[in-house]
Amino acid sequence: MNKDQAYHQIALACLKSLRNTSASSSDAISELYGTIDAAFQQQFALVLTELEDSRARLNRISELDPGTSTLGDAQAIAQSRGTSH
């Protein structure tokens, strides 16, 4: 996921919260902050998932036997992607 997609998801969550919150509500700001926090947490979880996937691929590459593996083997591992976000 790139930065623009993450910002877009957070902005959508904020807009939805603003639409669903009464302007006269004394808790409107708290609700919006809660929505922003939840959206950031969701995006952060996606980044952590991507990080773990990258770490696993790097570990697989580091475990390749140089005597039997090729650069192509390492490139195939590096380019493999799990579930897209």
Q: Write out the residue range of the structural domain in which residue 27 sits.
A: 3-79
Judge contact between 20 and 32, C-beta under 8 A: no
C-alpha 44/C-alpha 74 separation (Å) is 28
Tally of domains within the chain:
1
Domain membership of residue 66 (yes or no) is yes
**Whether the predicted pLDDT of 52 surpasses 50:** yes
User: What is the four-CA torsion angle of 79, 80, 84, 85, rounded to 10 degrees?
Assistant: -60
Domain membership of residue 84 (yes or no) is no
Domain membership of residue 23 (yes or no) is yes
In this prediction the pTM is 0.63
Domain membership of residue 14 (yes or no) is yes
Residue 82: predicted pLDDT: 61
67 confidence band (pLDDT: 50, 70, 90) = very high
Report the half-sphere exposure of 31 (CA within 13 A, side-chain side): 16
2 CB-near residues (< 8 Å, 6+ apart): none
**Whether the predicted pLDDT of 83 surpasses 60:** no
Average pLDDT, whole number, for the chain?
Answer: 85
